Structure 1
């Protein structure tokens, strides 16, 4: 036996006294393991909000047996606080015991080595033996404590493991061969928008926003100082609460500090992977970085994109500013508009791809982030000018408008539902076609812009003709609309409206209804003319080709509803979840305002039921409950919201209250700090009517998800705080600049 061998060897080399010392050492090794496993057990109990039996037993006589109900609640609260404090204290005790045991073991090792001067081989064998004993004892101890945990936690752990398995399958897609631990997969499956509990107060960010608001509001300085003092006190208290590990409400027991640490560790061990979200359906996708790069390069190898030798940002920025200057000189915009449209700190748009996991072959949907690009503000300036060109007779604003179309329609005999979808709409619309169509409608455009025709056309051509972006520091141009350009949606609508103008008169005798939403078109047509109608749509322009879907079993899904025709030709609708739908919503445990979660649940209920005929409601209510429960919404809350919706639906004719004295609030962005944010908002509201748009401060995205876009180089960053160290002494200069950093640094020289 290996055990006997090491003891026999020590006895032979160093005598019986050395064997006794080795036995004591092994005994302390087992004690250390016991303390470590006890600590793990106690922390697990704390994570799952359960109390070990030995602590429960120690306070079972705290409440007098014959105590009347008037004081019983007080005793119960004292008991709850006591057991939690005891649990925290026992955790501290185990930490101390582990520290002492480790010191004793080091002492034993030093004493044994000094006394007997064992060989390196002997030391190695003693270590191997102690490690073997430790691992063996750890299994025994762990099994015993797991049984204890099962006794106090009941089926909590089983339910959680089943829950993790269920939601992870729907909310997480692993496109690699890497095995991911279930608890890590669960945290990542919650998505990029899931907000984690605050590990520390974002004090600098909070104070920065406070000072920005105080500087922006028109209030006398004395009132500002009072507000500043109150807010400082509130933030100080929050800082103490976080540092004292004050327990939080509505925290997911599966999102523990240990699990978050494991998640960071897993991602650090696998730099070859990226984490992103799917193109549709709210699913977290894990894939190899090399595969992502390969798919992006395949996408950019299309003839629609051309490589540019250098970054055209400065050139486009100069042209943008020249056009804006000309607009002002001709008195066609005012000074405020000129300042907004002029840019000196633009950066190149950046392209990234979102995986289309619902397709048989993995492809990426290209998205271009155009924020702060040379034409971004000028493009936004044109959007309200072009919106009136959109034909309301061809378009629905949303799925609710679409549903109401069928209130008084009966499908003709021999007619069917079909839908047509444009293949890659934005990247297939030539900019020359779009510009020509818009300028043909100048008589309408001129009523909505102060620009003269020639200048308007120059601005339009510039905004649509400068579609470019970077990927891996290589610059590309495209002669089509970019996803991310503020103008693209309205321009696409104008082009498709023109298609309707051309095609509908030719198919009018075979078409009972034709309506569209962006690139999706719904038609009720003669079933014998379906191919003819598809060919007509595809004949409009060689770049714009349509796919066809026909009704099945008298029904066809479109947007978020299934349109169903009855035998008498009447139409009913039912809420529809696309195959890409995962059911992931704003999680109830996400560290975000309660009102956001309430609105999320209410909107799901209202959208699902109001879009559906009442005969479908029983099944839909079941699906609503399941979806909200998967997103951790309490059952009682779900039942109440469903009851409220039904009650409000029955009283829908009651007029809303009118408040003529209502003052419009001004919104400011502010980091979400729980109830502390609302306390700070209340302080501001004492002097001015404002509301906060709560900003994420510790999201899954910032902690775990990959940045898919090219990084902006440091020298062309703007709106930053910078520090310059003195070359001759220990002093430094800290400044803030709205210019490019390289330009500001040059000014210091």
Structure 2
């Protein structure tokens, strides 16, 4: 190195190696100090001798010891940050000047030295910890408090191996790093960028259109040559870092990929996420198919069809949208967006309800790439204002603030919540469509009942007719596939359709409006709803069964269940709402975070190969929710 690059680069390389070893020692020291803090151990450097005449200050002395330990941890963290910056600067200066092959060899040597030193540091700290535990008579198996609930719910006959358990405990949202680097795409993209920067893009759309002996020559200025050389070095550095990352993750990733691949080959089991929570659920394939088919065999809700009608329906919708664009009912942009191309049937699957007996399934239909998916999204966006209601909860934090601002006499109220059974599949489509049309265009005119031709109708009736036809296409003409059979849904709206939340809110808003007077007369003081869950404050002497009967009398298909407060508290969404018994001069209700029984504690793993911002957001969002929701 000295012969080829001189003493300056050589000194930087040696300094870089020393700093890396120092960084390794600092990390080990920090781990040692954190263990001492967690287990209430006192390293020798934080203690000092106290005369026997001053032993009555023992409590203050112990607090002082702990303060010294905590301060030392803060100092180590600052030193660690400074060392990281110094190493980064040295590494950058070395990378610019040195050949990638030599840099790779130097890194390997330094890494080996780091590993050797790390073993020495860890052994030394291990001995110190054992000695401190012995002196202070603490058990050596103290661990941090963790959530013991396993995220894996295995209801199948298969017994998971240790490797399979470790792989699945990461959750189904865990991202494994790629173990390949696409050299061809990388080079192609960089060359395209380079040529674009030069402003000499080819007028040929495809490389095959060029002559085989065509020679392309770029006459670059000295400044362009300098910048192109810099770009080349940056690309080499990026490629080297990519291969380094792949090499670092390969030993851990390849065995996990093999384990998951072998697990996926077992056709006797079905692996999915739970209906609520992030649990990984394993079912026998036979049991899963039997439960799904028992749901789909309901002839009142589903029907098997012999052939796939996707192409026919796609062609029909294309002609319909073209006609509406030509008439001016939709814009060109809306036509392009909603026009279906290359559609397929929906995909039905079930999510196990692990919090209920016998593990019933919630049927979900993935409507992505169906012929009416984009149309449904377009209609949901255009009609979104119809969901607005003073009873609807749009923001958890605003709801919590509103709860805190309420003032009631505790002796005169009680808390209840109402839940609708299978709302999405029970929403009456025809009735809901008529409600939407009435809110958009008012009552039907005489045009539709007269003998007039459609072309002679008024604009209001024409628009009403066209919107009705689009809503029916988006909701009634849904078909899907499960277990190689094609089904058509006869009633309700599919779980997974973009129009599902809109139809649910519109219909329940209508129900609430019609029943409001009766509910208030029978003791309802406050009503808020999120989709199918309602939080209600009623008078102390209100007859809950009568309220339930009123709600269930509106539509035989839409049925409610009720939950009454327990010891002055009731869970609602992810909030636990409690009545404040000492509410004189203060808020009537207090709130805190509520964890459902299905909560497994599984979050985005720190080792998941996703951007750092995702990981930070996973933690910060939970902390923010706790601060905003909790009263204290």
Q: Does the pair score TM above 0.5?
A: yes
Displacement of 1:399 in angstroms is 1.4
Paired position in structure 2 for 1:518: 531
- Change in 2 beyond 3 A, CA 1:185/1:328: same
1: CA distance, partners of 2:124 / 2:264: 31
Aligned counterpart in structure 1 of residue 391 of structure 2, from 378, 389, 394: 394
Aligned counterpart in structure 1 of residue 345 of structure 2, from 326, 348, 361: 348
The reply to whether residue 542 of structure 1 matches residue 539 of structure 2 is no
Paired position in structure 1 for 2:465: 454
Whether the aligned pair in 1 keeps the contact of 2:314 and 2:343 (CA below 8 Å) is: yes
The reply to whether residue 372 of structure 1 matches residue 369 of structure 2 is yes
- Change in 2 beyond 3 A, CA 1:243/1:429: same
Whether the aligned pair in 1 keeps the contact of 2:178 and 2:246 (CA below 8 Å) is: no
Paired position in structure 2 for 1:362: 359
The reply to whether residue 473 of structure 1 matches residue 484 of structure 2 is yes
Paired position in structure 1 for 2:271: 275
2: CA distance, partners of 1:213 / 1:256: 35
Whether the aligned pair in 2 keeps the contact of 1:565 and 1:571 (CA below 8 Å) is: yes
1:178-257 equivalence runs, <5 A: 178-202=158-182, 221=199, 237-244=237-244, 248=248, 256-257=252-253
- Change in 2 beyond 3 A, CA 1:589/1:410: same
Displacement of 1:512 in angstroms is 0.7
Displacement of 1:269 in angstroms is 6.7
Displacement of 1:332 in angstroms is 2.2
Paired position in structure 2 for 1:647: none
Aligned counterpart in structure 2 of residue 85 of structure 1, from 74, 97, 112: 112
1: CA distance, partners of 2:297 / 2:477: 19
Paired position in structure 2 for 1:531: 545
After superposition, the C-alpha distances for 1:355-389 in whole angstroms (9 at most, x for unaligned) are 11111211111111111111111111111222111
Displacement of 1:560 in angstroms is 1.2
Displacement of 1:232 in angstroms is 7.8
2: CA distance, partners of 1:207 / 1:512: 67
Displacement of 1:257 in angstroms is 4.2
2: CA distance, partners of 1:88 / 1:337: 60
The reply to whether residue 464 of structure 1 matches residue 464 of structure 2 is no
Whether the aligned pair in 1 keeps the contact of 2:180 and 2:246 (CA below 8 Å) is: no
Question: TM-score normalised to the size of structure 1?
Answer: 0.56
- Change in 2 beyond 3 A, CA 1:577/1:329: same
1:21-170 equivalence runs, <5 A: 84-85=111-112, 169-170=149-150
Displacement of 1:308 in angstroms is 1.4
Paired position in structure 1 for 2:623: 605
Paired position in structure 2 for 1:286: 282
- Change in 2 beyond 3 A, CA 1:270/1:469: closer
1: CA distance, partners of 2:107 / 2:198: 48
1: CA distance, partners of 2:505 / 2:334: 26
Whether the aligned pair in 1 keeps the contact of 2:424 and 2:492 (CA below 8 Å) is: yes
RMSD: 4.3
After superposition, the C-alpha distances for 1:417-444 in whole angstroms (9 at most, x for unaligned) are 1101111110111211211211221237
- Give SS of 2:404's match: coil
Whether the aligned pair in 1 keeps the contact of 2:174 and 2:605 (CA below 8 Å) is: yes
Question: TM-score normalised to the size of structure 2?
Answer: 0.66
1: CA distance, partners of 2:313 / 2:557: 27
- Change in 2 beyond 3 A, CA 1:338/1:203: farther
After superposition, the C-alpha distances for 1:693-738 in whole angstroms (9 at most, x for unaligned) are xxxxxxxxxxxxxxxxxxxxxxxxxxxxxxxxxxxxxxxxxxxxxx
Paired position in structure 2 for 1:309: 306
Displacement of 1:530 in angstroms is 0.8
Whether the aligned pair in 2 keeps the contact of 1:386 and 1:445 (CA below 8 Å) is: no
- Give SS of 2:496's match: coil
Displacement of 1:538 in angstroms is 0.7
Paired position in structure 2 for 1:674: none
After superposition, the C-alpha distances for 1:477-501 in whole angstroms (9 at most, x for unaligned) are 1121011111111111000001101
- Change in 2 beyond 3 A, CA 1:244/1:500: closer
1: CA distance, partners of 2:153 / 2:127: 34
Gap runs ≥5 in structure 1: 1-48, 51-68, 90-147, 615-749
Paired position in structure 1 for 2:50: none
Whether the aligned pair in 2 keeps the contact of 1:470 and 1:476 (CA below 8 Å) is: yes
Aligned length: 475
- Give SS of 1:553's match: coil
Aligned counterpart in structure 1 of residue 500 of structure 2, from 488, 493, 503: 488
Whether the aligned pair in 2 keeps the contact of 1:418 and 1:556 (CA below 8 Å) is: yes
2: CA distance, partners of 1:239 / 1:423: 55
Aligned counterpart in structure 2 of residue 403 of structure 1, from 400, 418, 424: 400
Displacement of 1:173 in angstroms is 1.0
1: CA distance, partners of 2:144 / 2:504: 42
Paired position in structure 2 for 1:428: 426
Displacement of 1:201 in angstroms is 2.2
Paired position in structure 1 for 2:436: 438
